[in-house]
Amino acid sequence: MTKEKKEGEKFEFPKEFDPLEEGVALPAELEPDHPGWLSIAEVMKISDPVFAKSKFLIGYGESSNVYVLAGDYLTIVDPGNDYTVFTELEKLGFNPLDIKKVVVTHGHRDHCMGVFELLRYPPIYESKEIEIINHEGGPQEFKKILESQGFSLTQVKGGETLELSGFEWEVIHTPGHTIDGICLYHGPTRTAITGDTVIPHSIGDADKTAGGRLEHYLYGLKQLMQKDIENILPGHGVPVAATGRRSVEETYEGVMMKLMEVEPDSKTTWMEGAAVLAEKGLLEEVVYCCDKELALRPENLSASQLKAFALNDMGRCEEAIEILDQILAQKGDDVHALAAKGHALLGLQKYDESIKYFDDALAINPEIKEAQVFKGMALYFMGKYDEAMEIEAFKTEFMERFKTEIDKQEQEPKKDDKTPGGEETNEG
């Protein structure tokens, strides 16, 4: 499959190695001249010991990228789906028996089927001294086959620190593409191995047959965005050096666009996107879009206001107040900003302070229902029940919720009406 690279020859990745749609094989006549195994340290310009001897094989067609982390022993991350992969390790000066761990980023065939090719190697099959690591939500059939053959399977949840080849890597659960997706993060080099969660210039679909969901995809990407990432070692395509953070953000933005059902080349503005995401209840994404808009147009009060509303609903009331104070400093009679600040103070249990803002909003527009309801809540929490019930909007809201709770309790089967076995009694 691979071609040996001449010493000193500079290799440029051809476009044929751009990620293909999953399940789409490259025609044999179009199979590109492959660069073979490459040094991660050289390609990524990383001098840290974690990558000093480590290699990667760029995948295409039906096989993912394969990473070999070399240190105290060998760890393979995503063994791909190509039987020739492991026969070439000896040419690199590696002993296949030094492979002690294999990490699978998710259960798609192009990433995990190479495990079985590796385990067929007689000395490995006989010794069983190899640990396979995947997420606990991975395919059950994969687990059954490994365990039936006597191999050790470690299943992770996310949040663990794995020792791989003598170096520590953090496991980050990144569902979305599949339910069992994980990424590995190495803090000292700011490097993430991302499987199909982040692929340069491409976005993996949410595979519903494997538990994938776009909403979960956003969650996984937000976990990555909490890390200081510079370098990406993806499941397909060329690794990304230095600009890894931007690759994660581009994927995040692309998934948001999929959720909004708009094309990548559409002219949707950040504010239009924020409005659609708000309707879907994706408040963190609303804040993200507002921040992008404000980076372009800091004077956009509508963006500031929508961000403050989202922060309020997320319980980040102090942040919301900081923004609302800036809006009210410019436009003191903005009824929605006044009501929102009252709402934020209510969330901080500053009930007495919140009343003033609700009153100011209602003095300008007595018909604002949210100001009426929130004022009633503030009064109620202050113990002023009669005064709260004089506010018709609050009384209606309160009684509706009370009635809903009563109905819910009445629908629950009474324990006294059932025998210990769960069958209704038929006395009388």
Q: What is the CATH number of the domain that holds 252?
A: 3.60.15.10
Q: Is residue 284 part of a domain?
A: no
Q: Is residue 153 part of a domain?
A: yes
Is residue 149 domain-shared with residue 51, that is, in the same domain? yes
Boundaries of domain holding 403? 315-407
Residue 378, domain CATH: 1.25.40.10
Instruction: Give the C-alpha separation, 1 to 341, whole Å.
Output: 64
What pairing do the DSSP bridges indicate for beta strands 55-57 and 37-39? Answer: antiparallel
Q: Is residue 416 part of a domain?
A: no
Q: Which residue has the higher pLDDT, 315 or 411?
A: 315
Put the strands of the sheet holding 99-103 in their side by side order: 37-39, 55-57, 66-70, 74-77, 99-103, 131-135, 152-156
Is residue 250 domain-shared with residue 321, that is, in the same domain? no
Is residue 254 domain-shared with residue 320, that is, in the same domain? no
Q: Is residue 377 part of a domain?
A: yes
Chain mean pLDDT for the chain = 88
pLDDT in tens, 267-324: 899 999 999 999 999 999 999 999 999 999 999 999 999 999 999 999 999 999 999 9
Residue 414: the pLDDT is: 53
- Cα distance between the two ends of the chain: 81
Is residue 33 domain-shared with residue 149, that is, in the same domain? yes
Q: Is residue 277 part of a domain?
A: no
Residue 309: the pLDDT is: 98
Total-model pTM: 0.82
Is residue 247 domain-shared with residue 347, that is, in the same domain? no
Residue 19: the pLDDT is: 40
Q: Where are the alpha helices (H) located in 187-269, listed in sequence order?
A: 214-225, 244-259
Report whether 134 contacts 180 (CB < 8 A): yes
pLDDT band at 16 (very low <50, low <70, confident <90, very high): very low
Task: Cite the beta strand spans of 119-263 per DSSP E.
Answer: 131-135, 152-156, 161-164, 167-173, 182-186, 191-195, 231-234
Q: Is residue 413 part of a domain?
A: no
Q: Is residue 418 part of a domain?
A: no
Is residue 346 domain-shared with residue 212, that is, in the same domain? no
Long-range Cβ contact pairs of 36-42 (< 8 A, separation 24 or more): 36/2, 36/3, 36/4, 36/5, 36/88, 37/2, 37/68, 37/88, 37/92, 38/5, 38/11, 40/67, 40/233, 40/239
Q: Is residue 372 part of a domain?
A: yes
Q: Please count the structural domains in the chain.
A: 2
Is residue 324 domain-shared with residue 250, that is, in the same domain? no
Residue 417, pLDDT > 60, answer no
382-395 b/e with 16+ CB inside 10 Å = b? eeeeeebeebebbe
Is residue 67 domain-shared with residue 191, that is, in the same domain? yes
